[in-house]
A and B are shown apart, each in its own frame.
Chain A
Amino acid sequence: MANVMIQYNEQGELCLYLPKKDLEEAITHFEFDEEQRWGGEVHLISGAIYYIDPMPSRPKLPITVRAKRLQAA
């Protein structure tokens, strides 16, 4: 489990920031990005996959959440 920050970059695309590794990666696929459900699998451009426990509503970004790494880059 690691703390990650989900945010928009300058182009308005979602990206994930991992403070521990100082890594900023664009998100290619975000499983649930809906008003009632937000989270799930997060696929990064580097090939890594993280999992965020789905939340009942879409939070205000940027937000720091706990995420589990399902697949390393």
Chain B
Amino acid sequence: MEMTKEQTQALIDEVLEVYPEAARKDRAKHLAVNDQANAGSKCITSNRKSQPGVMTIRGCAYAGSKGVVWGPVKDMIHISHGPIGCGQYSRAGRRNYYTGLTGVNAFGTMNITTDFQERDIVFGGDKKLAAAIDELEQLFPLTKGLSVQSECPVGLIGDDIEAVARQKGEELGKTIVPVRCEGFRGVSQSLGHHIANDTIRDHVLQPNEGKEFETTDYDVAIIGDYNIGGDAWSSRIILEDMGLRVVAQWSGDGTLAEMENTPKVKLNLVHCYRSMNYIVRYMEEKNGIPWVEYNLFGPTKIEESMRKIAGFFDDKIKAQTEAVIKRYREQWDQVIAKYRPRLEGKSVMLYVGGLRPRHIIGAYEDLGMEICGAGYEFAHNDDYVKTTPEVKDATLLFDDASAYELEEFVKKLKPDLVGSGVKEKYVFQKMGFPFRQMHSWDYSGPYHGVDGFAIFARDMDLTMNNPCWKNMKAPWTKTEAADLAKTA
């Protein structure tokens, strides 16, 4: 459905009508019509506190630190310090794949918590934390380090987790990172990313500055790839085919040692800019390592990113990259030939975290689909500035949309596919809209890279062309509606 700017604006106004005046005024700043002529300036308000009473789907700082940045570091144990729920309900939900033996030398999917009780709130939980660290050392001696991920009560009662971490770290001779990522900090998980990045800087990079590491001229680090469904692995194949040496993966399938070695690489490759730009900024200023954003969703962007990365290296890499692109083309041309006719012309609405809506557009366009609405949960101003040129004029943009707004937008825009999180999934499926859960690839993946694109295309086809969508209405309601239509 083609929309003009006026029509999209009318849609926004209509949806906002139900709110009381103050809420309407605030929410209006978070919804916008894309206007490419306006690129670069402030078009939409973002990274603000959600309205009370309006249902947001954002997460908290703990989710950003433990769930996103620290959690996938596989050879460390991440203690969810506080009551048990935060750790238990977020355990392994993000599907950060890793190699290793869980419980022996890898700990990614385990939930380790100090399980706060009333007593710990009253008398403080530092002793319990120290006891937990000792117990973990006995149970899992192969951990390379630990991180203490604070939950809300720890900040509220003012425990000194830094002191415990320092003392125990000296005692055990291991890196113990205290992370002050209490859930109440900030407006969304975005601050949790920032806090986690700062702790990596302070407790991992700075103490290991002089560490010896044998380098080559082609060392790179993958930053901000969480290996969801194996994403980092399929990205790594591309980079290694180009002749580069991937020294570290931050943080999907990553290790503490890899992180310590990162300041020696020649180039940092940033996939998730929103969650890891802080650390590459630091390494650029401190170690003089350039960084570059890249995007491995869909052939067009893969090709573009490969050339962009190769541009930082010598002619040998550039030549090899061209040869590899030629080989890849044969692969993805087959995928496009197979799926494009089945998906051509369909529209998609995306509402994901802080990066994917703009990153994944290319992959949809390669399959002949178009974006009719895009929104972020916790993006910042610069993310919207980068989104504007990627989507067509008059596309609906929304920031921190509420459940109500999202439902209304979908009802009005009628996209052929909705991509968002698990909280939205069943609502839209019950409304009869094909849906993909785009946070953890709906139990599928990888979607990055050339191999990932084939899976992506197949999944989109399976979802949208599934015969079940034709059978959403019960047979008796169907005939009644048809009868009514006849008599009318």
A-side residues, CB < 8 A to B, are 5, 7, 10, 17, 19, 22-26, 45-46, 62-64
Contacts and interface: CB of A to CB of B under 8 A. Distances in A.
Interface residues of B, number: 17
A26 B190 CA distance: 21
Contacts of B47: 22
A45 B381 CA distance: 12
A11 to B, nearest CB: 10
B293 interface: yes
B383 to A, nearest CB: 9
B285 A24 contact: no
B37 to A, nearest CB: 15
Contacts of B281: 5, 7, 17, 62
A23 B40 CA distance: 14
- Which secondary structure dominates chain A's binding surface? strand
A46 B42 contact: yes
A39 to B, nearest CB: 17
Given A22-B190, A26-B40, A10 B293 contact: yes
A63 B42 CA distance: 25
Given A5-B285, A26-B40, 20 more contacts: A5-B281, A10-B292, A10-B293, A19-B194, A19-B278, A22-B47, A22-B191, A22-B380, A23-B380, A23-B381, A25-B381, A25-B382, A26-B385, A45-B42, A46-B42, A46-B381, A62-B284, A62-B285, A63-B285, A64-B285
Interface string B278-303: 10010011000000110000000000
A16 B284 CA distance: 15
A45 B41 contact: yes
A17 B285 CA distance: 13
Contact of B380 (A24, A26, A63): A24
Contacts of A46: 42, 381
Nearest to A62: B285
A38 to B, nearest CB: 16
A22 B194 contact: yes
A46 B385 CA distance: 12
Contact of A24 (B194, B293, B381): B381
Interface string B231-266: 000000000000000000000000000000000000
Interface of B: 40-42, 47, 190-191, 194, 278, 281, 284-285, 292-293, 380-382, 385
Nearest to B191: A22
Contacts of A64: 285
Nearest to A24: B382
Contacts of B292: 10
Contacts of A62: 281, 284-285
B324 to A, nearest CB: 24
Contacts of B194: 19, 22
Contacts of A25: 381-382
11 contacts: A7-B281, A7-B284, A10-B293, A19-B194, A22-B47, A24-B380, A24-B382, A26-B40, A46-B42, A62-B281, A63-B285
B353 to A, nearest CB: 15
A25 B382 CA distance: 7
Nearest to A20: B194
Contacts of B191: 22
Nearest to B193: A22
B294 to A, nearest CB: 11
A26 B285 CA distance: 19
Nearest to A26: B40
Contacts of B190: 22
Contacts of A24: 380-382
A63 B286 CA distance: 9
Contacts of A26: 40, 385
A25 B293 CA distance: 17
A23 B45 CA distance: 12
Contacts of A7: 281, 284
Nearest to B194: A22
A24 B383 CA distance: 9
Contacts of B385: 26
A45 B281 CA distance: 21
A62 B381 CA distance: 20
Contacts of B278: 19
B40 A45 contact: yes
A25 B383 CA distance: 11
